[in-house]
Structure 1
Amino acid sequence: MSSGVSTSTDKIIVDKSRHHRNKAVSKAVRATRERLQSSANGSHAFDHDALALHVNNMLQSALILPFFIVLVAAVGTYITSDSSLLPWALFTLAAHSLNLLLARRASKTELTALNTQRWQRMFIFGQFLMGACWATFAFSECAVCGGDGYYFYKGAVLLIAISITAMSNVLLRMAVIVAFLLPMISLGLIALDSRNVFDVGLLGLCATAVLFFHYISNRFYRSNLTLMSYQSEKDDLIAELEVAKSVSDEARRRAEEANLAKSRFLASMSHELRTPLNAILGFSEVMSSEVLGPMGNGTYREYAGDIHRSGQHLLNLINEILDLSRIEAGRYELNEEALSLLEIAEDCIGMVQLRARAKNISIHQQFEPNLPQVWADEKSMRQVLLNLLSNAVKFTSQGGEVTVKVGWTAGGGQYVAIKDNGPGIAEDEIPVVLSAFGQGSIAIKSAEQGTGLGLPIVQAILAKHDGQFILRSKLREGTEVIAILPATRVLQSLPAVAATRAVEPRRKSFA
């Protein structure tokens, strides 16, 4: 069977509360995103996070620069055959050690928005001190070196130093410019004094490298800032979701407690109301039937009949409320046995036939033959079919038609489908009709108003049987309701045993 509209009895209430709750949560999430987007566009909201990552990177890559400095000094001493680079190496290692001590101290200090700028200035000064060391190296010369080999050596060292500084200070803005400002001034003074094309070329090459690596490091800085903003946004959204979930869980718990209290109250009140109502029904029936003798006034007899009919209607309402309360409270027990849907459908059609004839409504039957029995509660299944048939007859106009089908589903289960050519139900009213005490506009305008509990009870009973309820309807095209029992409740007979084997008793099992 194709899927239809199915909903729980309290769906409308749940949807409304969820709408109001999500409105507040969406507002908080939207405010969080706006704040984070504004932070990524230039504010200092993540400066302390970036500084903390910079400190961590410095400590992790602490041995790279010392190894490079020692290598530069060793190669330079070998090329120049002079030990003048050894004091420079010691001074540069001391400056690098000062930066590492500064980073270690910062790692043990809580970085806040108040002291972040002060630590940034201290790290920038450390890079300026390293720049002074590289400026000293830029002034170094080789008197004994022939050709242009020393220019190549100096240029390679400065380019590698620029790249190492840029990569290790990605999260410290302007570090490359500050660190190599003095070396660029030194190279500029040398080129201005010597007017040598190699000095000018070295200046241009290093200056270009500084600008390029500054651009690259700035892009990396913005990328890391964006990632931190996304991480912060994710954390804030998770926090908001956790808060919303806790609010939702608490609201659901309270709703379940209130629903259980309501169900217990209705069950208790329904039971207490039926006791005096039975007396009203009994005495009104005695009076209307004139069992104890004729009544002198015929109007009194009519009044007694009205009292009996009104009491019967009230008793039906109380029984429906009691059934729904027992279902919601989880105390609706099924008395399951093997039964035939065909027989129950025929009996229920006979029970509403008189009422259908009074409205000149014809009921057509389309039953598949030889349907096996199902394992279900006979009283509950009768209540399901009677509710659906009564609704079909109630809302079908004079001279209409009602079709009842019983047969197999595609999955091996059995179904009962009841279709009428009445006024139908608007699509937006279907959830209302399927909710407890809900009635569509047609039912409200009808002279035969009900309690609005029939369809919710049908849904609940089928759910207790692991079944399904489907409602299809359109305005001015009629309504079709389908009650489905799953294949697990269909009883199939085992095939006959071979003649050569001993005859065993036939058993029934769930298909």
Structure 2
Amino acid sequence: MPHTASANPDKNIVDRTQSRPNRAVARAVRATRARLQTGRFSNAVFEKEMMRLHLDSVVHNSAGVALTILLAAAFGMWLAGDLALAAWMAMALSLQALCIVVAWRARKVTLTQEQVAPLRRQFILLQGLTGVSWAIFALQDCSACRPDLFEAYHGGALLIGLAATAMGTVLLRPALIATFLPVIGVLALRAVEGHDLSTAALAAAIAVALLFLLVMTNRMQQANLRILAIQSEKDDLIAELEVAKSMSDEARRRAEDANLAKSRFLASMSHELRTPLNAILGFSEVMHTEVLGPLDNPIYKEYSGDIHRSGQHLLDLINEILDLSRIEAGRYELHEEAVHLLEIVEDCMGMVQLRARSKNIQIRHQAESAMPALWADEKAIRQITLNLLSNAVKFTPAGGEILVKVGWTAGGGQYVSIRDNGPGIPEEEIPVVLSAFGQGSIAIKSAEQGTGLGLPIVQALLAKHGGEFLLRSKLREGTEAIAILPSKRVLDSLPAVRQVQPVERRRRSFA
């Protein structure tokens, strides 16, 4: 039966089932950017948005228009006593209701670019019919009324009614013109036929009102276009941020998957790498020490020594890589116990002492007295100290000096400081040497190169303990590495419990 990826979670090195960046958002970004790059904004760019605003204007203004029609018809019937205005009122209200129905239905659906032009023609036609209804109202007359009173009512009703109707058509200028032109034409024709100056003045006033509304409409339209352009730019920026965030999340997930795959691979290779290396080290040491008998050719003995040194160096590098991989994969667990920092530092100094003497390096030691134990992982603390001491010996020139200090921090923790008088590290290279596999220019030129994992391992192990690592260095003055363990790791000694005598205990029980 074939194995699937879900059979073992550890086999899922890279999970490619995660969602890709939002392609719909990316398409929206491209469409919006293309629209914004067409040049100067016009109705053609935002046809759907402008039509949507016009529909909202028609619906919201419907109550005012209907109330104006009712009041004009009611006052006219009271003034003239003519029931013909009731028929006009029914016609005008029917046209208004038809406009509202069309606008309401159009608002309920998602408009497409192809639907905008037919919908605009419908509204122009309906507003033209509305203008015809107001033109019919302008033809109304009353021989039994006072002329001055009827003219005032007639002109006021026309102006107010047209103004109320125009409020709903300011975003559709052809509809506005279609509403006013029938009224202006009827009044102008009536003024010419009857030589009526008052009717001519009313026609002129309505024409001037139309021109004013057209100017205001143009300004309102440009303002709305600017608002829509700003809204589109904002939507474009939001969409781009969403795409960038999606791509960033995807890149981070891929990086995490790759890092996890690397850590799992290296952790699983520990046995496969160490087993043959141990065999190489063992057999090369047997050959170099001539345990099974002398080698006739001294060159073979030299080669076996080279094999042993190279294998040991490779094993040290593999151990460092595996240690860092376990830490990054979250598989490094601390085995905490009470340890004394000073004792560990002294043991590690003894381990590097032979190597330091071979380079004529003097290691001096300063420590504060009466330092209590720490609650820490002895192996990790020993590895931290050995890494720092090995680096100091590696980069300290022959005849140099290393100063090791163990003491208290200002916050009540404990620290170990290792200072050498080597070539130092340029200030701009300190972040490089603190990164995994990072090596400074001095290390690259040195004959004793490593993987560049010693200091990252020190940082990671100290972080596991809640501690801190500091690296201070100056060119031609040396380097100081400080490992700090927090105060919460320090085990304070408890005062001895005073024994209570039996007589005193009985005395207290009676008290």
After TM superposition, is the score higher than 0.5?
Answer: yes
Whether 2:235 is the aligned partner of 1:229: answer no
| Paired letter, 2:55 | V
Counterpart of 2:276 in structure 1 is 273
2-structure distance, mates of 1:496, 1:73: 107
Task: Specify whether residues 398 and 206 from structure 1 end up closer, same or farther in structure 2 by C-alpha distance, changes over 3 A only.
Answer: same
- Aligned mate of 1:263, from 239, 245, 266: 266
1-structure distance, mates of 2:326, 2:71: 87
2-structure distance, mates of 1:474, 1:177: 83
Counterpart of 1:218 in structure 2 is 221
2-structure distance, mates of 1:210, 1:136: 22
Contact 2:387/2:454 (<8 A) preserved: yes
1:66 CA displacement: 1.7
1:70 CA displacement: 1.1
1-structure distance, mates of 2:385, 2:27: 49
1:337 CA displacement: 0.8
1:61 CA displacement: 5.3
2-structure distance, mates of 1:120, 1:43: 12
Query: Alpha-carbon deviations, 1:205-247, whole Å to 9, x = none?
Result: 6246413541453145314523552464256436624752564
Contact 2:124/2:178 (<8 A) preserved: yes
- Aligned mate of 1:286, from 285, 289, 300: 289
Task: Specify whether residues 331 and 284 from structure 1 end up closer, same or farther in structure 2 by C-alpha distance, changes over 3 A only.
Answer: farther
Counterpart of 1:437 in structure 2 is 437
Counterpart of 1:70 in structure 2 is 70
1:494 CA displacement: 5.4
1:186 CA displacement: 5.1
Task: Specify whether residues 108 and 316 from structure 1 end up closer, same or farther in structure 2 by C-alpha distance, changes over 3 A only.
Answer: closer
Counterpart of 1:13 in structure 2 is none
User: How many residue pairs are counted as aligned between the two chains?
Assistant: 478
Task: Specify whether residues 487 and 37 from structure 1 end up closer, same or farther in structure 2 by C-alpha distance, changes over 3 A only.
Answer: farther
Gaps of 5+ in 1: 1-20, 504-511
1:310 CA displacement: 3.1
* TM-score, L = length of structure 2: 0.75
Query: Alpha-carbon deviations, 1:53-105, whole Å to 9, x = none?
Result: 54355446543422232123223444555545433322211211221232344
| Paired letter, 2:179 | A
Alignment of 1:292-311 (within 5 A): 302-311=302-311
2-structure distance, mates of 1:408, 1:80: 107
Query: Alpha-carbon deviations, 1:121-169, whole Å to 9, x = none?
Result: 2222222322333344455566634657854774476357435633x34
Counterpart of 2:125 in structure 1 is 125
Secondary structure of residue in 1 paired with 2:37:
helix
Counterpart of 1:382 in structure 2 is 382
- Aligned mate of 1:202, from 198, 202, 205: 205
Alignment of 1:24-103 (within 5 A): 34-38=33-37, 41-42=41-42, 44-55=44-55, 58-59=58-59, 62-80=62-80, 82-103=82-103
1-structure distance, mates of 2:250, 2:382: 42
1:106 CA displacement: 3.1
Range that drifts further, 355-364 or 129-138: 355-364
Task: Specify whether residues 273 and 299 from structure 1 end up closer, same or farther in structure 2 by C-alpha distance, changes over 3 A only.
Answer: closer
Query: Alpha-carbon deviations, 1:286-313, whole Å to 9, x = none?
Result: 33xxx66777776665555444433332
1:44 CA displacement: 3.5
1:320 CA displacement: 2.0
Task: Specify whether residues 163 and 496 from structure 1 end up closer, same or farther in structure 2 by C-alpha distance, changes over 3 A only.
Answer: farther
Secondary structure of residue in 1 paired with 2:331:
coil
1:326 CA displacement: 3.1
Contact 1:170/1:220 (<8 A) preserved: no
2-structure distance, mates of 1:222, 1:461: 61
Structure with bigger RCO (C-alpha 8 Å, 6+ apart): 1
1:378 CA displacement: 0.9
Alignment of 1:152-191 (within 5 A): 154-155=155-156, 158-159=159-160, 161-162=162-163, 165-166=166-167, 168-169=168-169, 172=172, 174-185=174-185
| Paired letter, 1:38 | Q
Secondary structure of residue in 1 paired with 2:269:
helix
Contact 2:42/2:225 (<8 A) preserved: no
Task: Specify whether residues 127 and 480 from structure 1 end up closer, same or farther in structure 2 by C-alpha distance, changes over 3 A only.
Answer: farther
Contact 2:274/2:315 (<8 A) preserved: no
Counterpart of 2:13 in structure 1 is none
Task: Specify whether residues 86 and 387 from structure 1 end up closer, same or farther in structure 2 by C-alpha distance, changes over 3 A only.
Answer: same
Structure 1 vs Structure 2: percent identity of aligned residues?
A: 45
Contact 1:406/1:414 (<8 A) preserved: yes
1-structure distance, mates of 2:449, 2:172: 77
Contact 1:190/1:199 (<8 A) preserved: no
1-structure distance, mates of 2:150, 2:216: 25
2-structure distance, mates of 1:175, 1:463: 74
Counterpart of 2:395 in structure 1 is 395
Secondary structure of residue in 1 paired with 2:114:
coil
Gaps of 5+ in 2: 1-19, 505-511
Counterpart of 1:465 in structure 2 is 465
1:377 CA displacement: 0.8
Counterpart of 2:5 in structure 1 is none
1-structure distance, mates of 2:50, 2:124: 14
Contact 2:33/2:236 (<8 A) preserved: no
Contact 1:384/1:461 (<8 A) preserved: yes
| Paired letter, 1:321 | I
1:276 CA displacement: 0.8
1:390 CA displacement: 1.6
| Paired letter, 1:318 | I
2-structure distance, mates of 1:497, 1:181: 109
Alpha-carbon RMSD across the aligned residues, in angstroms, is 4.4
| Paired letter, 2:383 | Q
Contact 1:280/1:311 (<8 A) preserved: no
Counterpart of 2:316 in structure 1 is 316
Task: Specify whether residues 218 and 377 from structure 1 end up closer, same or farther in structure 2 by C-alpha distance, changes over 3 A only.
Answer: same
Contact 2:286/2:292 (<8 A) preserved: no
